[in-house]
Amino acid sequence: MTAPLPLTILGGFLGAGKTTLVNHLLRHAEGRRLAVLVNEFGELPIDEDLIEAEGDDLISISGGCVCCSYGSDLTAALMDLARMEPRPDHVLLESSGVAIPGAIAATVGLLQGYRLDGIVVLADAETLRATAADRYMGDTVTRQLEDADLVVLNKCDLVTGAELSALRGWLQDRHAGLRQVEARQAAVDPAVVLGGFDGAPVSARTPENPVQSRHLRLDGPVDDPAALAGALAQDRLGLIRAKGFVTDRAGARFLIQVVGRRAACTPAPGPVSAPDGIVCLGAGGRADWPAVLALGARTSEEA
């Protein structure tokens, strides 16, 4: 049986930068075949220079990526996508501006063949507070933020330092423990949205957006891999993502994947050559690295 397809939900209000982020990720796909599902082919969601061919429901993008529209029938589009050959490596689901991402996540959870890799919600630093106070849209935006595993606070270059600082405080007051990455023109490190950060330190790639990575070393087996995954997702650590392999005391290997507050621990798929250890990402200096690394140390000591 093939491994389930990882799927990331991109939520956020109209104008927050979802389409810009999609194009940014397509430009930095680095060999990964991304399938982008958009609510509809409204304003063409893909930059023209990336398009290889356009059909009624499908746009072919350079590098083997595709973009499909789902209109009123998300489930059907996901079922079609799962049968696509060649198979995509990762699915990005761009929801409509008024959609509640948690509801979409529940739907994805019904479909075999998919693994929800997290809900990333974009927010416009310039307008977020006004939208959250809007009499019609306020509760929708609030629900979107509540459902987010990660928030990309976009357009940070359009506000002053003082405004940004106030916005951070406002966000933490309303959504304690919220994991956020700050960006301009939605240029976040692809690893933040897509995971797959086994290579070089990611911070070098997008210098205006300081994402840090640390390697959590594990020198031996752990008592409870699921508990470790849960610990990595705790608010107080402030991690954006974490991914790696661990071995339990019975010798079984597990894959741990954390996206903000969402933690998953599943049996490792097939034989894995990678050594035990977990790569962790933090952003904006908000990760508590000593506490993160202490998780590994404690494990080692116990081992």
Partner 1 sequence: MTTIYSARKIITMCASQPTASHVAVRDGRILGVGPLDSLTGWGDYTLDERFADKVLMPGLIEGHAHTMEGTLWKYAYCGYFDRTDPVGRDWEGIKTLDGVLNRLKEADALIADPDAPLPGWQFDPIYMDNRRMTRHDLDKVSTTRPIGVLHASGHIMNVNSKALELGGMLRTGINHPGVPLGEDGLPTGELKGPDVMTPIGVHVGFDRSMLDCDDDGLRNFGRLCVRAGVTTTTDLAARLEDDTVDMMLKVTGEADYPARVVALRYFMGMTPRELVDRVIALRARSTDRLRLGRIKVVTDGSIQGFSARLRWPGYFNGAPNGLWYVSPQQLREVMDLALAEDVQIHTHTNGDEATDLVLDTMEAALRGQPSPDHRFTIQHCQLADSAQFHRMGKLGMCVNLFANHHFYWGDEHYRLTVGPERAERMNACATALARGVPMAIHSDAPITPLGPLFTAWCAVNRITASGRTQGEAEKIGVAEALYAITMGAAYTLKLDGEIGSIEVGKKADFAVLEDDPTEIGGGNLKDVRVWGTVQGGRVFAAADQT
Q: Which residues bind partner 1 (CB under 8 A)?
A: 13-15, 40-43, 69, 71-76, 79, 96-98, 100, 103, 106-107, 109-112, 136-137, 139-140
Place of tokens 């600082």: 165
Of 77 and 278, which has the nearer Cβ to partner 1? 77
Of 174 and 215, which has the nearer Cβ to partner 1? 174
Q: How far is the CB of 4 from partner 1 (least distance, A)?
A: 12
Amino acid at 48: E
- Under 8 Å CB-to-CB from 300, ≥6 apart: which residues? 217, 218, 219, 220
Instruction: Compute CA 149 distance to the chain's CA centroid, rounded to the nearest angstrom.
Output: 7
| DSSP summary character for residue 157 | G
Q: How far is the CB of 135 from partner 1 (least distance, A)?
A: 8
Q: How far is the CB of 283 from partner 1 (least distance, A)?
A: 28
**To the nearest 10°, the Cα dihedral for 210, 9, 39, 54?**
70
Q: How far is the CB of 131 from partner 1 (least distance, A)?
A: 10
Of 141 and 239, which has the nearer Cβ to partner 1? 141
> DSSP labels for 165-227?
HHHHHHHHHHSTT--EEE-STT---HHHHH----SS-GGGT-TTS-EEEEEE---S-BS-HHH
Place of tokens 């050559």: 273
| DSSP summary character for residue 275 | P
Q: How far is the CB of 91 from partner 1 (least distance, A)?
A: 16
Of 30 and 134, which has the nearer Cβ to partner 1? 134
Extract the tokens encoding 265. 């621990």
Of 58 and 294, which has the nearer Cβ to partner 1? 58
Count Cβ neighbours within 10 Å for each residue of 254-286 and write b for 16 or more, e otherwise: bbbbbbbbbbbbeebeeeeeeebebbbbbbbeb
Please tell me the distance from the alpha carbon of residue 91 to that of residue 300, in angstroms, as a whole number.
36
Extract the tokens encoding 295. 């998780």
Q: How far is the CB of 262 from partner 1 (least distance, A)?
A: 13
Q: How far is the CB of 140 from partner 1 (least distance, A)?
A: 6
Inter-helix orientation angle 289-302/225-232, to 10°: 170
Of 40 and 198, which has the nearer Cβ to partner 1? 40
Q: How far is the CB of 285 from partner 1 (least distance, A)?
A: 34
Of 73 and 198, which has the nearer Cβ to partner 1? 73
Of 50 and 111, which has the nearer Cβ to partner 1? 111
